[in-house]
Amino acid sequence: MDKIIITGGERLCGKLPISGAKNAALALLPCALLTEEALTLRNLPRLADIDGFQHLLNQFGVSTAIAGSRPEDFGRVMTLQATRLTGTTAPYELVRKMRASILVLGPLLGRAGEATVSLPGGCAIGNRPIDLHLKALEAMGVRIEMAAGYVRAIAPDGGVPGGDFTFPVVSVGATENALMAAVLASGTTRLENAAREPEIVDLCNLLVAMGAQIENIGEPDLVIHGVPRLHGATYRVMADRIEAGSYACAAAITGGDITMTGANIAQMGATVHALRSAGVIVEEAADGVQVRVDGPLKAINLSTAPYPGFATDMQAQLMALLCRAEGTSVLHETIFENRYMHVPELSRMGAQIETTGRTAVVHGVPMLTGAEVMATDLRASMSLVIAGLAAKGQTIVHRLYHLDRGYERLEEKLALVGARVERVGSE
């Protein structure tokens, strides 16, 4: 199993490209199931989760072709076509490693009127039930059955009727599934308290490009008028705001100065505010976003929240940065109940962090020290890399399969801005 060896202490400077957004791409890919015509996605990141979802779509008869590109290029272009669906079952062996697999439920219902999907897997960061996905679909006239670890969803003979649903709490995945089921419904669907993340907007924009009729995009009250059919489209995946935020933390903790090319500062509002509060200079650049530090890092207090609040997917990375801030920071995790698994690993590097329930108190320290650490989930993995970049000596991060799920060729990008990072295979 591969590991990354980081020799800390190098100031990150230069230009670093930001890839297409993983969280957006995983919702755009299943849109191929909604039409028999070709869907071409540009700026698709090269990630293990993308490859896994591609294989899942192949299970349903979706053909996938990747345009020729140079190995040194970041991102790629993929054309998907579901001329004829050959199945509507997503089996356990393909779904168990990736929670996003549940996102085939909505489009299969819309196109075929039925779907059987294994209960999903993914990062072990707390209880993430799919009850809101199912309740939303039931409100749209779909019958739900559960047995032997599978969800079976069945639409009436005329297809998904459509209906009204109010999410009791904001759910990105449930909003995405409901959207994809609603676009081919026979009636109108109204989703209240829907998620508003930029990735939701990206999904809506693609669906509209395919012929869907969606009102109030970017607002919490989505209205979807079902249409008889959708057509193909060519669409560019949005930049990854979480990847950009992660590299911003990496630059800041090393006192660096980087420009993240392709990043969109307008989609990073809460992250930019948090970084600026911590003493980091973040400015829009002609080709992306510039991040630099010319003074000490400052302690801050912060709570995670649904968009437009501070993303839970940035909590671990910001915590690593605050380990080097002057003073005491307090972080409160409101989304997942088990998202502090990186704390013991950061402590091995000299961090001083206390956790009580969903609250973490971070006492800034003058120095971190390299150590062997174990990645526990995707974003926790990146927090260890960030800490390692600033630590004295060598840091060895194990279980890189977590990182490979969400960060495209991480060690190559870090090397572009001066980091001393090496990936090595296990002995």
Query: Catalytic residues, which ones?
Result: 123
- Scan for tokens 């307090």, then name that residue: 330
Tell me if residue 256 falls in helix, strand or coil: coil
- Residue pair 387/253 in contact (Cβ under 8 Å)? The answer is yes
* All residues at 6 or more sequence positions from 257 whose CB lies less than 8 Å from its CB, including other chains: 11, 12, 13, 251, 290, 291, 292, 293
- Please check if 157 is assigned to a binding site: no
- Residue pair 194/167 in contact (Cβ under 8 Å)? The answer is yes
- Please check if 132 is assigned to a binding site: yes
Q: Which tokens belong to 344?
A: 């013991």
- Scan for tokens 């993929």, then name that residue: 78
Q: Per residue in 314-329, is it b (16+ CB within 10 Å) or e — as a string?
A: bbbbbbbbbbbbeeeb
- Axis crossing angle, helix 105-112 with helix 131-139, rounded to the nearest 10: 20
Q: How many CA atoms lie within 13 A of 95 on its CB side?
A: 18
- Please check if 335 is assigned to a binding site: yes
* CA angle centred on 381, ends 379 and 384, rounded to 5°: 115
User: H helices within 183-327, ranges in order?
Assistant: 198-209, 241-253, 269-277, 315-322
CA distance 368 to 316: 16
- Please check if 23 is assigned to a binding site: yes
- Please check if 70 is assigned to a binding site: no
- Please check if 51 is assigned to a binding site: no
- Please check if 324 is assigned to a binding site: no
Q: Identify the helix (H) or strand (E) that includes residue 127.
A: none
CA distance 339 to 380: 8
- Please check if 22 is assigned to a binding site: yes
- Please check if 97 is assigned to a binding site: no
- Please check if 313 is assigned to a binding site: yes
User: Among 173, 174, 102, 180, which Cα is nearest to 136's?
Assistant: 174
* CA angle centred on 258, ends 421 and 329, rounded to 5°: 85
- Scan for tokens 């600033």, then name that residue: 390
Q: Per residue in 40-60, is it b (16+ CB within 10 Å) or e — as a string?
A: bbebbbbbbbbebbbebbebb
CA distance 253 to 390: 6
- Residue pair 387/419 in contact (Cβ under 8 Å)? The answer is no
CA distance 405 to 30: 18
Which residues define the annotated binding site?
Answer: 22-23, 99, 128-132, 313, 335
Which residues define the annotated binding site for phosphoenolpyruvate?
Answer: 22-23
